[in-house]
Chain A
Amino acid sequence: MTFDDRITIATPEGVDLELTLAGLGTRFIATLLDVLIQFGAILALSFAVGFSSIAGGGGGGVLLALYYVGIFLILFAYDVVLETWNHGRTIGKLAAGLRVVRADGRPVNFVTSAVRNIVRIADFLPAFYGVGIVTVVVTRRSQRLGDLAAGTIVVRTAKQPAAAPAGWADPWRVPAPAHPDWDVSAVTGDEVVAVRRFLERRWSLAPDARARLGYELAARLAPKVPGADPRSVPEAFLEGLVAVKATRG
C-alpha cells in the first residue's frame, strides 16, 4: 500500500506528463459532496412532485413517470454530464481538487464517462462502495471497477494552471503569421511530426497539459531555429515552424 501516487505518461512529443493520483480520502470527500447534492436535488424533486400532485389532482401517472426519469437523471446524468462538459469534474471533484481523465491523460468523453458511471453500481456493492474501495486500494493507478472498465484515472488538478515561463507570452493568443526569415534546416523530420501531432490533438488535451506540452516543445525547438523569437507564443511558433518547414523542407 505504499504505491507512489504519481504517474508519468510519455507523450508522442517526447514530453513526459506527470499526474498525481487522487487518494481514497479526497475521492471520498468528492463523492460525499456529490451524493449530498444529488440527495438534495431528489428531495427538492420529491417535494415538487408531491406538491404538484396535491395541487393538480389528475395526471398522476405521468407525474410519477417524470419523477422516476428525474431521479434517473439526477443519479446517473449528473456525473456523466458534468464529467463530460466540465473537464472531468463533478461539483464534488471540483471542490476536492480532482479530475477524471483518460489513462493517457486526455479528457474523458461521453462514452468513457458513461461507462465508468454505469459500473459505479458494481463498485457500490455489497455496500458503501465496498468493491470500489478495495479496487482503488489494490490497483497501481487507484482505479475502481468503473475506472478499469472505462480506462480512466482520477487525478489531482494542478492548483494553478501551468504558468508561462518568464518572458513567454500567454499560450492562447492569436497565432502569429509565418516567418520567412527563419532557418529551419536544423529541425528534423521526426521533430516536425511530433509538433504536427501536438497541433492536431491540442484541442483534445486538458488546458494544463496543452500549455505545458506547447511550452516544452517550443523551448526545445526554438534554439534550433535561428531568427525565431524564443519568447514568441509557443503554439504560434510551432505552427510557424510547421508551415515554414512544409514550404522549404
Chain B
Amino acid sequence: MATETGPWPLNDEPGSGRVEIDLRALRVIGTGTLGMAVVLSFLSLPDVVLCPLRRWTGIPCAFCGMTRSVVALVHGDVGSSLALNPGGVLLVAAAVALLVTWSTQRVEVPTWWVGAFFATLWAYQLAKYLEGRPL
C-alpha cells in the first residue's frame, strides 16, 4: 500500500501536482498497439472515420490519423507518418523505448505534461484542419 505524502492541504489548483504512471500497463498497451499496427499494415484499411467528433462535425480530434500514422511508420514512410499525426511516431518510439527499459516499472511526471501532450497533438490537427490540409 502506497502512502501519499503530499503537502497538506494539497494544492487545489486544477492540474497541479504530479502523476505516477505504471509503465508495465503502458508497455502492454504499447506492445499491443505495435502488434496491431503490424497486422494492419498487411491489410488494406477501409476508409471509415471512427472518431465521432470528426464524423459528426468534421473537426479532427487529437488522434485523427493516428492509426494510419503508425501503419505508415511500420512501412518505413516517416514523412507520411509525421504528416498524418506526429503522435504516431511518438507512440511507436515510446512503445520501443518501453520495451528497451524493461526493468523500469513506474515513472512520475508533472501532471501538466499529460495535458500539454494532448493539447499539442490536438493543436496540430486543428491547424491542419484550418489550413485545409488533408487530415
Contacts and interface: CB of A to CB of B under 8 A. Distances in A.
Is B a genuine binding partner of A? Answer: yes
Interface residues of B, number: 40
Contacts, number: 108
A140 B18 CA distance: 11
B66 interface: yes
A103 B118 contact: no
Interface stretch (A64-72, A78-86, A89-97, A121-129): A121-129
A18 B4 CA distance: 10
B115 interface: yes
B8 A138 contact: no
A127 B51 contact: yes
B53 A125 contact: yes
B2 A10 contact: no
B19 A140 contact: yes
Interface of A: 1-4, 6-12, 16, 18, 102-104, 106, 111-112, 115, 122, 124-127, 130-131, 134-135, 137-141, 143, 145, 148-151
7 contacts: A8-B1, A18-B1, A104-B6, A104-B10, A138-B25, A140-B21, A148-B15
Interface of B: 1-6, 8-17, 19-26, 28-29, 50-53, 61-64, 66, 106, 111, 114-115, 118
